């Protein structure tokens, strides 16, 4: 039985952390790695090093300073697309089909600023609108009976066990009821299965991100699960493994504040 491995990682600058990308590819050998926050114009992404690591197939949408998504694969990526939402070309959503495999989407949902009120914080409104746009996009342009994987930094931790304190984060952007409601609606609109929570029970506390703003991220352990892997239903039953690679949060010399998340799927 052969298997496909798909990973996602908010890398927080692909140029600064290209060595960590190569380390991840070497140690975990995903068939496709989806990156977010590459923070690099397309021409400046160090593709030569990635290609030398035998990941010769790269689809990317990058811009100066902000955002940026990529898909790195060890086999051809067919029908590459860049998808825009909310009338912006801000490099948050790309897709391509892995040869003899599923269609893969790398998504970076806006963080949403500090104030969870769209009347006073337009970034929060943009976040909610972006999730709504994704909820509309998939049923409009795709069939949920096809093999499709949507991964990325969704910037929302939906479950009580996805945050270090449900009570203390109810009014903190990423875990407010309105955001969770929007994400739940997007999930239901295409019958997405949360592949990670399917393998790691919802009762279990699980984080994929720890802020830089703490003296000792591991000791304080105030994390959130912001990074997700969703699959369509025919695929859901074939997921055999899901992992959040917490050790990468401590990778020297300068870790990303997110760790990689991966799944294995029978193919």
Partner DNA sequence: ATGGTTGGTTACCAA
Q: Which one of 39-47, 78-86, 96-104, 156-164 is the stretch in contact with DNA (CB under 7 A)?
A: 39-47
| Secondary structure (DSSP) of 21-88 | HHHHHHHH--SEEEEE---S-GGGS-HHHHHHTT--EEEEE--SSS--EEEEESS-EEEEEE--BTTB
Q: How far is the CB of 258 from DNA (least distance, A)?
A: 9
- The neighbour count for residue 121, using CB atoms within 10 Å, is 16
Residues 6+ apart with CB under 8 A from 141: none
Establish if 66 lies at the interface with DNA (CB under 7 A).
yes
Contacts (CB under 7 A) with DNA, residues 73-132: 110-113, 123
Q: Which is nearer to DNA, 24 or 190 (CB)?
A: 24
Would you say 153 and 108 are in contact if contact means Cβ atoms under 8 Å apart? yes
Q: How far is the CB of 212 from DNA (least distance, A)?
A: 4
Q: How far is the CB of 15 from DNA (least distance, A)?
A: 5
Q: Which is nearer to DNA, 211 or 240 (CB)?
A: 211
**Main-chain dihedrals φ then ψ at residue 148, nearest 5 degrees:** -135, 140
Q: How far is the CB of 46 from DNA (least distance, A)?
A: 11
Strands 103-108, 93-98: parallel, antiparallel or unpaired by DSSP?
A: antiparallel
Establish if 167 lies at the interface with DNA (CB under 7 A).
no
Pattern 131-160, binding to DNA, x per CB under 7 A?
------------------------x-----
Q: Which is nearer to DNA, 146 or 214 (CB)?
A: 214
Q: Which is nearer to DNA, 99 or 120 (CB)?
A: 120
Assign 175 to helix, strand or coil: coil
Q: How far is the CB of 25 from DNA (least distance, A)?
A: 19
Q: How far apart are CA 121 and CA 115, in angstroms?
A: 6
Q: Which one of 37-45, 76-84, 157-165, 241-249 is the stretch in contact with DNA (CB under 7 A)?
A: 37-45
Q: How far apart are CA 87 and CA 254, in angstroms?
A: 35
Figure out which of the listed residues 7, 8, 20, 39 binds DNA, where binding follows CB under 7 A.
39
Q: Which is nearer to DNA, 102 or 112 (CB)?
A: 112
Q: How far is the CB of 92 from DNA (least distance, A)?
A: 9
For the four alpha carbons of 249, 180, 72 and 64, in that order, the dihedral sign comes to negative
Would you say 104 and 147 are in contact if contact means Cβ atoms under 8 Å apart? no
Figure out which of the listed residues 15, 143, 166, 171 binds DNA, where binding follows CB under 7 A.
15
For the four alpha carbons of 70, 75, 80 and 86, in that order, the dihedral sign comes to negative
- Which residues in this chain contact DNA in the complex, by CB under 7 A? 12-13, 15-16, 39-41, 64-67, 110-113, 123, 155, 212-214, 254
């Amino acid at each position: 039985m052969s298997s496909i491995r798909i990973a996602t990682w908010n890398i927080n600058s692909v140029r600064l952390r290209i060595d960590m990308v190569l380390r991840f590819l070497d140690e975990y050998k995903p068939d496709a790695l989806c990156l977010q926050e590459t923070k690099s114009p397309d021409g400046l992404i160090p593709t030569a090093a990635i290609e030398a690591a035998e990941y010769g197939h790269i689809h990317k949408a990058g811009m100066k300073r902000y955002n940026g998504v990529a898909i790195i694969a060890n086999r051809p990526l067919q029908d590459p697309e860049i998808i825009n939402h909310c009338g912006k070309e801000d490099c948050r959503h790309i897709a391509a089909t892995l040869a003899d495999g599923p269609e893969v989407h790398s998504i970076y949902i806006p963080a949403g600023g500090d104030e969870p009120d769209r009347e006073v914080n337009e970034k929060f409104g943009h976040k909610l609108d972006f999730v709504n746009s994704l909820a509309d996009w998939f049923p409009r342009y795709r069939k949920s009976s096809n093999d499709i994987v949507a991964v990325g930094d969704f910037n929302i931790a939906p479950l009580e066990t996805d945050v270090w304190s449900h009570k203390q984060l109810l009014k903190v952007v990423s875990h407010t009821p309105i955001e969770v409601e929007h994400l739940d609606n997007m999930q239901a609109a295409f019958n997405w299965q949360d592949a990670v929570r399917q393998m790691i029970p919802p009762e279990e506390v699980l984080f994929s991100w720890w802020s830089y703003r703490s003296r000792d991220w591991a000791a304080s352990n105030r994390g959130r699960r912001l990074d997700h892997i969703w699959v369509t239903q025919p695929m859901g039953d074939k997921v055999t493994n899901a992992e959040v690679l917490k050790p990468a949060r401590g990778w020297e010399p300068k870790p990303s504040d997110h760790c990689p998340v991966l799944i294995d799927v029978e193919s």
